Each structure stands twice: as structure tokens, then as C-alpha cells.
Amino acid sequence: MYPFKFNPILKSTIWGGEKIIPFKGLDMNQPQVGESWEISNVPGDESVVANGAEAGKNLSELVKEYKGALVGEANYERFGDNFPLLIKFIDACDDLSIQVHPDDALAKVRHNSMGKTEMWYVIDNNNGQAHLRSGLKKSITPAEYEAMIADNTICDALADYAVQPGDVFFLPAGRIHSIGAGCFIAEIQQTSNVTYRIYDFNRKDKDGNTRELHTELSKDAIDYSVEEDYRTNYTPKQNESVELVTCPYFTTSVYDLTEDMTLDYSELDSFVIHICMEGSCTVTDDEGNSVEVKAGESILYAATTKEVKVTVNGHAKFLETYV
């Protein structure tokens, strides 16, 4: 199968910025684009193929047609026709709401959905002005949590980080979090759109209304444990794979290449996604199919792909993720 590119699904938000459009090279007059859904099989937001013989088909149709040949035999047995990952770029010019996501068990019971474990890779920090919140910095009980929501002090309990490009945060379901103003990030997550909004800074939408909070739902979804540091620590390297996160839902590495490299997927029973964040390259699979990929683009390789040769145009940095 030809490596798949998809048309981005752009989402306007009250906290969105202005970086996604130029980053992706789009000529569109759409202010406050907060998210670009790169690869999505969320019902109603299925990504549409932009290249090759399958152009015009959506991701749901591809999975149903190619099954394990596309996603991997074990993945198809595990997830069926549900493509398991959702890939986004997120641009925040204001703080997102404080939120939490349920795990698989709770999401299944309440929403007949997968849970939402995710990770963030910081691409840009607005000249050092960006921050985000991840996890509790002090121990609180569910009752104390509810009281802090009521008196607008919940942020006092959260770990708040100034961030730099290259920072990584892993967010298992149940961890309170918020992307902060100035963050431009790549996000990898389970295919789920279930979010419990905990606190929204008393903001009002264009109609003068505050957004709904989910205090009761979130209270039972939160992991109240406290960790010393919620960042994912790793040592950046050039011209080799650096693993960032491995969990039951995805494995993600970063490649920072100034030299050509051949990636061996012959023993991997999974699709592979590359998310390009800097520079550009040409990727050629083992069937001789070549596609150019530049910053702001993502590409999906079928599980039948055994090898990918990456030919860099000077420099390319991308995330690699699979299940």
C-alpha cells in the first residue's frame, strides 16, 4: 500500500492561535485554529486520504477494506474497525481548560468508548513564554478537589511547567492536565474524544456563556497520586532513534536526522505513523513508493510495509509512533 497522507481537519477554538495555518503551509483565512487533526477515525471526523490511488477515501473505509494488512493483525483483533490512534497539532494562545480523561474501563461503562491516554511533544514555546500543567503537586482528597473547584483554587494543586521545544509529557488516563498559553505541540492519543472539563477560568464563549464543567464525572476519573516530576526525561541524539514513550497504547520515538536512514519494520505487526515537525525528507517504502514529507505533515504506513528509506533534505525531525 502507498504511504498515506491525509487532509487536515482544522478545529477553531476559543483558545486557538495563529501558528497552525503557516506551519502547515495552508492558505486559509480561518482565525484561532486551535487544533489540526492529522490522522483521525473519530466518528464524524474521519481523515480523508489526500494522495495516491486511495485519495478521497476516509480512514474508516481503509480500515474496513484492508483490516490487519493496514493496522496489523494483532491490532485488528484488538480494535476491530476502530483505528486506535488520533494524531493532532495543537496551538494554544490561551490556556486550555483544566481537564482529565477516563481510563478504558470507565469510558466503556459511561460512554462505550476507549479511554484517553496521550502524550505531548513541545514543538514551540512562543519565545520562552509557554507553560503547561500536568499532574498533582500535592495530595488532595476527592472532597478537597471538589471544594477547590468551587472556590477557584484548583490550579494551586497542579504542577505547572515552563516548557522548551523538545519537552515531552506522558499523560496516562486519570492525570489532570492543561495545555498552557504559548504551547505549540504534537499530540498522540488513543482514539477518544471523551474529555471531562474540570475548570475553565470562568471564561465565556462568544454568546456570553460559561462552558459546562464535569465536576462529578471527573471526581471519579482522577488519579490522585503525586509524582515528583511529570516530565519524560530523555537524552536527545542525532541520526538515531530515541524512544520517548512506550505504553500499552502506543510506542513513540523521535528522529532528528541530518543523514539518510533506513528504518526496518519487518518484525513489526503494526501500522507506523511519522509526524514531521522540522525540515523535510523523502520517504521511500520497500515497494518503491516515494512521498515527500515536510514540517506540518503526517504520514501513515500500512503494517505490510517492511522498510522505509528516509532521504533528508538537509534536516528532518519527526516522531514515529505505532501500537
How far is residue 91 from each of residues 16, 26, 96, 154, measured CA to CA in Å? 6, 15, 10, 24
Q: Residue 274 is which amino acid?
A: H
Dihedral (Cα; 67, 8, 204, 198), 10-degree rounding: 40
Place of cell 487532509: 7
Give the three cell numbers for residue 271. 501500522
Q: Which of 63, 114, 39, 31 shows the shortest CA–CA distance to 275?
A: 39
Among 78, 175, 197, 231, the active-site one is 197
Nearest 5 degrees, angle CA 185-CA 84-CA 249? 75
Dihedral (Cα; 126, 127, 128, 132), 10-degree rounding: 10
Dihedral (Cα; 123, 128, 132, 138), 10-degree rounding: 140
Q: Residue 276 is which amino acid?
A: C
Q: By the 8 A CB rule, do 180 and 94 touch? A: no
Cα 295 to Cα 309: distance, rounded to the nearest angstrom: 18
78 is an active site residue: no
Q: By the 8 A CB rule, do 88 and 10 touch? A: no
The sheet with strand 184-190 has its strands ordered as 9-17, 33-39, 85-91, 184-190, 118-124, 168-171
Q: Which 8-state DSSP code applies to residue 129?
A: T
Q: Which residues are catalytic?
A: 197
